[in-house]
Amino acid sequence: MHTKLVASLATAAVSALLIAGCSSDTSSDSTPTGSSSSPASSSASANVSEVFNDADAMFARMMYRHHAQAVEMAAMAAGRTDNPEILTSASAIEAAQQPEMDRMTAWLTEWGQPAPSSDMGEMSGMDHSSGMGMMSQQDMDALTALSGAEFDRQWLTMMIEHHEGAIEMANTEIADGSNADTQQMARAIVATQQQEIDTMRGLLV
C-alpha cells in the first residue's frame, strides 16, 4: 500500500510538470486590469509575470490562505497517526504547497498588491458552505482531538473536501485569469490535487 501511494504521488508530480511545460509559453490576449503597460510595449519589454488582472490577484491571495490551512492539517498528522500512507500523503502536501505559497507571495509583491495572510480568522466566512473546501475552526479543533484510526478517517475526509475546493478555485483562475504563471500553477493544482484525491479516496475504502 505504501509503495502504491508513493507511486501515485510521483505520477501526480509528473503530470503537474507536464502541464506546466505545456502551458509555460501561454500569454494573455487582453489588456489586464492590473497592468499599466500597453499591448505593444508589454509584448516587447514587460515581463509576462507582471501582466495580471483582478482574478489573478484574487487567486494568489485566496489560494495562499487555502494552502496555509492544508499545510496546517498536514502538520497535524505527526504524533496523531502511525499510518505510513497518511504520513506520506501529509508530507507530499506540505512539500508541494509551501513552495507554491512562496511563489504567490512573490507575485503579489511584484504586482504591488497587499501581502497574503495565513490568518484563518480572516477566512471566518469560508466554511463548508463557501464551496472552497475551507474548514471551520470547530472542524480544525475537532481534528486535533483525534488520534489513530479516527484521526486517519477524519483527516482524509477533510483533506479530500479541501482539495476539491482548491480545484474549484483553480478552475476559476483558468477561466478568468490572464497571467501565464498563475494559470500554469492553477493547471498544476488541478492535476496534482485530483490525483491526491483519488489516492486518499482509496485509503478510505
List all residues 6 or more positions away from 82 whose beta carbon is below 8 Å from its beta carbon. 148
Distances (CA, A) of 48 to 110, 160, 173, 180: 12, 33, 16, 7
List all residues 6 or more positions away from 54 whose beta carbon is below 8 Å from its beta carbon. 33, 34
Which residue type does 23 have? S
Angle at 27 between CA 23 and CA 31, to 5 degrees: 150
Helices (H), 47-147: 54-76, 84-110, 137-144
2-21+52-204 placed in CATH 1.20.1260.10: yes
For residue 194, what is its C-alpha cell? 485530483
Q: Where are the domains of the chain?
A: 2-21+52-204
List pLDDT tens digits, range 89-134: 999 999 999 999 999 999 999 999 999 986 655 444 433 335 589 9
Q: How far apart are CA 142 and CA 137, in angstroms?
A: 8
Write down the pLDDT at residue 131: 56
Closest alpha carbon to 170 in 77, 82, 56, 1: 56
List pLDDT tens digits, range 31-88: 344 443 334 334 433 455 679 999 999 999 999 999 999 999 999 999 999 999 999 9
List pLDDT tens digits, range 28-43: 333 344 443 334 334 4
3-state secondary structure of 170: helix
Q: Would you say 75 and 94 are in contact if contact means Cβ atoms under 8 Å apart?
A: yes
More confident residue, 171 or 23: 171
Whether the full predicted model's pTM is greater than 0.85, yes or no, is: no
List all residues 6 or more positions away from 64 whose beta carbon is below 8 Å from its beta carbon. 101, 104, 105, 116, 117, 118
Write down the pLDDT at residue 184: 97
Write down the pLDDT at residue 80: 98
Q: Average pLDDT for residues 12-36, to the nearest whole number?
A: 41
